[in-house]
Structure 1
């Protein structure tokens, strides 16, 4: 296991009050999770299952782990999993699912940009439909790239079309968030793009987001 970064806790025990990040974001997501006994489908994301199939298990960072379905699936397949999430409510559920499955996961209660993650340490950084807030210094985008080890893979998946939606009455503005094209724009000669495409989504049954039909998939390997 890695040296515990800021906002982290013991393996299998979700953190309580040691959150690192924007408290407003934490409160927003805690409220959303409390509105439902289970927000997501409980199954691993389809794009992750497809793209991780040919990868040798190593150290993985699951960004925005939610209720833990991806983290548990990865751990069951031999990955050494660190799972990061802003919602303490979600982490409590995720830790319970991991215990039920008999797998170990390192939980990190933090925002991606604020977490003191070890640079260049993960063989896979997986971000499945993350709600990463955009900043002028591209902090979230750079944090994703910085976490990947030489030879490792960044897998970023998002709902196609969300980046071009109009501002909603509820306050959702696509300009406030990070989309795959923004991360791809930061890739230099140290990276090789293996997948950059829109494809039909492998849609799980039930859960929020099930109405989205297409994915944007960015898979890039860090060469050095």
Structure 2
């Protein structure tokens, strides 16, 4: 899919409603980031800015990228409303066509899923290369599509966390695995029923 087609797809996704996401920080990021010294962070697929704005509030200097202009505009408005606009640089970026410049203390990729073909492994490999020594790579994935969307047309497989790490082929003398596992998360279905979902968590620290 071309960049223009991908942009149109995500613009239609975000334009369908006034707000898509909750605006809250992702749970795993809120657990991990306080254990780190605030520095520079790159938020891949930032959406409407929940993670990026929260990181900025914790003292991080953030680069937040997404392909959807509508999502970035909402994220920037949220950052301004919460007084951290000067700590976040929002960039429109197609990660399948290239990776943002720079090195970062924290690389965060939460639920970088797509309903159209997207080769994520080159993105994750580029993310690992952008982590500066002593920094951390955090990848959080769904273990599978939500059961209430069993007909959802996902074009990629939902890989196990161990398989993602193996595919990255990172040198053992340069990287230390901090956490590689699936974790339970309680969610509520669209019908209001409780449901236990599993997220895959990968936390790698560059030596």
TM-score by length of 2: 0.82
* Counterpart in the other structure of 1:25: 6
Structure 1: where are the runs of 5+ without partners? 1-20
Structure 1: which 4+ aligned runs deviate by more than 6 Å? none
**Which one has a larger percent strand, Structure 1 or Structure 2?**
2
Q: What aligned pairs does 1:10-159 form with structure 2 within 5 A after superposition?
A: 22-103=3-84, 104=86, 105-119=88-102, 121-131=103-113, 133-134=118-119, 138-159=121-142
The offset of 1:53, in angstroms, is 1.9
Q: Deviations over 1:85-131 (max 9, x none)?
A: 01111001000000101102101100224345235x10000011112
What SS does the aligned partner of 1:153 have? strand
TM-score by length of 1: 0.77
* Counterpart in the other structure of 2:153: 171
* Counterpart in the other structure of 1:10: none
Distance 1:116 1:161, change over 3 A: closer
Structure 2: where are the runs of 5+ without partners? none
The offset of 1:72, in angstroms, is 0.5
**Which one has a larger percent helix, Structure 1 or Structure 2?**
2
Structure with more contact order per residue of length (Cα contacts < 8 Å, sep ≥ 6): 1
The offset of 1:52, in angstroms, is 1.2
RMSD: 2.8
